Amino acid sequence: MPKGVSGLGLNLDKIRNIGIAAHVDAGKTTVTERVLFYAGRTHKIGEVHEGTTITDWMVQERERGITITSAATHAIWRDHQVNIIDTPGHVDFTIEVERSLRVMDSVVVIFCAVGGVQSQSETVWRQADRYNIPRLSFINKMDRVGADYRKVIEEMRQRLKARPVLCQLPIGIEDNHKGMIDLIHEKALIYSDDDKGKMFVTEEIPQEYVNQAAEAREQLLEELTLEDEKLLESYYRGGVTPEMIIASLRRATIESKITPVFLGSAYRNKGIQPLLDAVIDLLPSPLDLADIEGHRVKNNESVFVTCDPKKSLVGLAFKVQHDPYLGKLTYVRIYQGHMKKGKQVLNTREGRKERILKLFRMHANHKEDIDELNAGDLGAIGGLKFTTTGDTLTDGSDIALESIFTPEPVVRLAIEPDSAVEQEKLKNSLAAISEEDPTFRICEDEETGQTIIAGMGELHLDIIVDRIQREFKVTAKIGKPQVAYKETITQVVEESVKYETTTGSRGLFGHVKIRVEPDEKAGTEVIFEDECPFEIVPKQFHNAVRQGVIGASQTGPLGSYPLIGVRVTFIGGGYHETDANETGYQIAAGMAMRQAVEKAKPVLMEPIMKVEIETPDEFLGDIIGDISSRRGSIERTLAKGGGSIFVIATAPLGEMFGYTTSLRSKSQGRASSIMEFDHYNGVPENIARTIVFF
């Protein structure tokens, strides 16, 4: 295969790597199914409610009608290769969105024309901001009662701080939605319901929409001319062409200065082809983006990775999946160079070499054997043993790319095998799922010996338990969900510990002085800083001090919960010429950490959840009262039209278990809610006494 082309033989400028993301039930998977159908990748449209979609392939996804795991696929549109990752919308599976956006070049954010900007919409937008990813938006469900694209655009401005630019107008809304007006080409696109949306008629703008379209196009041009002086000159000369508008839109989109907005109804097969055209015309190829910054493992020197197939290989493993037939599959994005089947690669984190036994191009859970992946490509590797999510793969260089942000789990439960025979099967199943999902954690309760699993929410753990029982054939007893509490400190304390003991002819010695202090900037972490001069404690013992501090921070003094929001500074100590060793300093540092935290007025911290509730207005009073009884607070309420109210609130996770059932009971089954982790906050003292023994 010639260098400089993709795995399908196309030039790199003809590749588009896109993620599709949104709030739950906004229509991501439905949009993806139409994209695959109109691009000729599939020959039948799958439906979420029928459990026949390509990208929702897991049994649990098809049974529940939700996306749980991100699915990679690809299609050809206008001679361009479009690599697509369809991501979950439920907050419990936010890691799937996080790692997908980490490796994609752009994202299509779907909004519901009725629901507007919802809680997970904000989360997705923040994730895209984290990686500075260009995006365009598709306002879906224009056929639904209560559809209001203007409200959605205003919410994008207010809640997302975005700069949306409308590129289409709807021709009819709700039951009368027939198509769109293309503001760039000044044409009407009229769809028929007879052919599953394959064909649409391009005609002149209907007379009743002429003035509205002219005004909307003027607004589009005004937004673009603020960023494009050449377009401004052409605008004043009266010579703006559709090609000029597309070129200007493309530049502003790639620079993340604006967000183009398109409209349609995926379920009714309207608006997908223009959306695909926009992906090709407005979103970047791998060549359009800036070089990726990495670093040398040996000396931490910055290095930049260029999308060039002729240079040395640099790729990022962003997902691990266990295939029932092939074993471990490792999804990879190639940023530089090329990867060939049969060749060796170096995992720069592990410092170990692995052989590429198989290469695949993925179509959800279907695999196509290939021989090579080039810069700009996405694929999956079979046969890697040591590589996990966030690892960098090279052909021998020690370059490492930025890993993937992983949020902390907030819900835990105990799981025990039904018999000793099941013990090993449970251990293996938990290890496999943990390797796939970085937000899933396993530990052992030191007091009871029970196995504790932790995840992002009740649904997350429910799916994992279902997989353990169904996929891995393990029978186990499950405890009730529990809150993943943390601990922090409220005062600054300095502590010095000298540890020395004699064993045989030689002793152990370590002398450490540290300062602990509360630090909100540390977030959910413990930050270690080293300010101890090497002449006081030699350099070779400093890492042992760090290990001792971090190890001790895993169990706080109140309830043995991990510490967060603490800054620890190594400020001094002592040295013994004959007995000083790493073990002694590690033990001394751990003792100093535990003693300092006990003196620093520790407090218990609980996860506070952001709760978004949609309810008919007649149930609003009962719902607000229920939230207040759960130690929650109402941030704001928003009227959404049609007698529907959105309530945005915060409440402690410990008070919100089983909330969905309670909400349905109070609203005759007509209200719905979604929760996501927001922050940690101190537990009131009277509540804390019931959780831990003071």
- The H-or-E segment that residue 321 falls in is strand 314-323
pLDDT greater than 80 at residue 28: yes
pLDDT of residue 659: 87
Mean pLDDT (whole number) for 135-162: 94
Q: Flag whether pLDDT at 686 surpasses 50.
A: yes
pLDDT exceeds 70 at position 694 = no
Q: What is the DSSP letter of 142?
A: T
Q: What is the pLDDT of residue 79?
A: 94
Phi, psi of 578 (to 5 degrees): -105, -35
Backbone angles phi, psi at 105, to 5 degrees: -90, -20
pLDDT at 641: 65
> What's the average model confidence in pLDDT over 667-681?
86
Average pLDDT over residues 400-429: 89
Could you tell me which residue, 573 or 420, shows the higher pLDDT? 573
Average pLDDT over residues 464-486: 90
- Whether residue 377 is predicted with pLDDT greater than 90 in this model: the reply is yes
Q: Is the pLDDT of residue 103 over 90?
A: yes
Most confidently modeled range among 56-65, 369-378, 500-509, 664-673: 369-378
pLDDT in tens, 639-665: 876 678 889 999 999 999 888 888 888
The residue that leads in pLDDT, 405 or 602, is 602
Confirm if 450 and 668 have CB atoms less than 8 A apart: no
Taking only the tens place, the pLDDT of each residue in 483-515 is 889 999 999 999 999 999 876 667 899 999 999
Q: What percent of the chain has pLDDT over 90?
A: 62
Query: 363 pLDDT exceeds 90?
Result: no
Residue 243 in 3-state DSSP?
helix
CA–CA separation, 655 and 627 (whole Å): 9
**Range with the poorest average pLDDT among 149-153, 218-222, 449-453:** 449-453
* Tens-place pLDDT, residues 524-546: 889 999 999 999 999 999 999 99
**pLDDT of amino acid 337:** 95
Backbone angles phi, psi at 432, to 5 degrees: -65, -45
Q: What is the CA radius of gyration of the chain?
A: 28
Say if residues 314 and 296 touch (Cβ distance below 8 Å). Answer: no
Comparison of pLDDT for 133 and 324, the residue scoring more: 133
Q: Looking at per-residue confidence, does 599 or 472 come out higher?
A: 599
State the pLDDT at residue 164. Answer: 97
Band of the pLDDT at 1, cuts 50, 70, 90?
Answer: very low
Burial class (CB in 10 A: 0-12, 13-18, 19+), 464: buried
Q: Is 53 helix (H, G, I), strand (E, B) or coil?
A: coil
Mean pLDDT for 333-344 is 95
| The two three-digit tokens of residue 538, written as one number | 């030699």
pLDDT-above-70 percentage for the chain? 96
Residues 592-612: what's their mean pLDDT?
94
Report the candidate in 457, 354, 382 with the shortest Cα–Cα distance to residue 123: 457
Identify the pLDDT of residue 138.
Answer: 98
CA-CA distance, 57 to 36, in Å (whole number)? 15
Strand partners, 114: none
pLDDT, position 448: 67
Alpha helices in 262-364 (DSSP H): 272-282
Residue 8 above 60 pLDDT? no
Task: Answer yes or no: is pLDDT of 3 > 50.
Answer: no
**Residue 141 to residues 6, 31, 110, 175, 263, Cα–Cα distance (Å):** 34, 11, 10, 11, 9
Q: Which residues contact 35 (CB under 8 A, 6 or more apart)?
A: 41, 75, 82, 84, 272, 275, 276
Identify the pLDDT of residue 352.
Answer: 94
> Which of the pair, 112 or 45, is modelled with greater confidence?
112
Q: What region, left, alpha or beta, does residue 600 occupy, with left being phi > 0 and alpha being psi -120 to 50 degrees?
A: alpha
What integer pLDDT is reported at residue 48 of this predicted model?
67
Q: Evaluate if residue 338 carries a pLDDT over 70.
A: yes
pTM of the model: 0.79
pLDDT at 522 over 80: yes
Residues 183-210 have a mean pLDDT of 88
pLDDT at 360: 95
**pLDDT at position 2 over 60:** no
Sheet containing 493-503: which strands, arranged edge to edge? 493-503, 506-518, 566-574, 526-530
